[in-house]
Amino acid sequence: MRKTIRIIALIVFIASIAGLAYFMVENYIDKRHQAEIDALRGMNTDIPDLLDEYAALYQENYDTIGWLKIEGTNIDNVVMYAPHIQEKYLRTDFYGNHSTRGCLYIAENCDIFKSDNIIIYGHNMSDGSMFGTLNYYADEDFYQTHKTFSFDTIYEKQTYEVVAAIKTEIPPEGEECFRYYEYTGKNDADMFRQYVDFINENKLYSTGVELQEGDSILTLSTCAYHTEQGRFIVVARKIS
């Protein structure tokens, strides 16, 4: 019996060490890839119609659509867009390899050129990578010193101002209610009004910024743990 217990304990120990080693190796690879991605940003190429600083990233991966940067956070990352492959970058890195942290990516149901509301998803990573620091906006004091941020597409420099920070959840299947992640359409006045109502009912504090019909909206979305299927989102409007 003691021999059996020792064998089981040894197996558990080896499995734990293997799991830790896998995590450390993956974390090292992800950080190395991030450094490579940072280096590609700003590298000049001769690809027409693209901003020069993002051309090399696009040449490396044609799913590259832009770059999101929020001062005061760890969010300073490439953003991907693969509209024909569901959640392609949920667990895939910039180079197409499996990755726990994945990439920041635009929802497949968005049209980057036509949608009123562009939704960017990212994992809430415990090490602060991806959208691991997005919830800084849950603190109104943080908002007061970080009211704007940049989201450049590969074609255009853009600045957004924060409209609201919201804690919400994914409602149960079949429940009749507004789902923020379904609002992407162009010129949908009814959905726009529902979205504004959703913001006003759920925002953590008032920013004094109100959405107007026709605004270009950006919604940043990540997991949250205040409730089952919790989500934390930051809503912003384009100002330049």
135-183 pLDDT, tens digit each: 999 999 999 999 999 999 999 999 999 999 999 999 988 888 899 999 9
pLDDT at 173: 86
Helix axis angle, 52-60 relative to 2-40, nearest 10°?
140
| DSSP H/E element including 55 | helix 52-60
- Round to whole Å and give the CA distance between 118 and 186: 11
Distance CA 126, CA 177 (A): 31
Residue 29: CB atoms within 10 A of its CB come to 14
| H/E segment holding residue 140 | helix 140-145
The pLDDT, as a whole number, for residue 10 is: 58
What is the reported pLDDT for 186?
76
**Residue 187: phi, psi to the nearest 5?**
60, 40
Q: In the structure encoding, which two tokens stand for residue 176, read together?
A: 């009749």
The reported pLDDT for the residue numbered 131 is 98
C-alpha to C-alpha distance for 91 and 98, rounded to whole angstroms: 6
- How many CB atoms lie under 10 A from the CB of residue 154? 21
In the block, which residue shows the tokens 């051309």? 55
Cα→Cα distances 80→122, 161, 200, Å: 11, 22, 30
Look-up: residue for tokens 């205040």? 226
Distance of CA 153 to the CA centre of its chain: 14
- What confidence score (pLDDT) does residue 54 get? 94
Q: pTM for the complete prediction?
A: 0.81
Q: What is the DSSP letter of 128?
A: S
Mean pLDDT across the stretch 82-88? 95
Query: Which pLDDT band holds residue 223 (cuts at 50, 70, 90)?
Result: very high
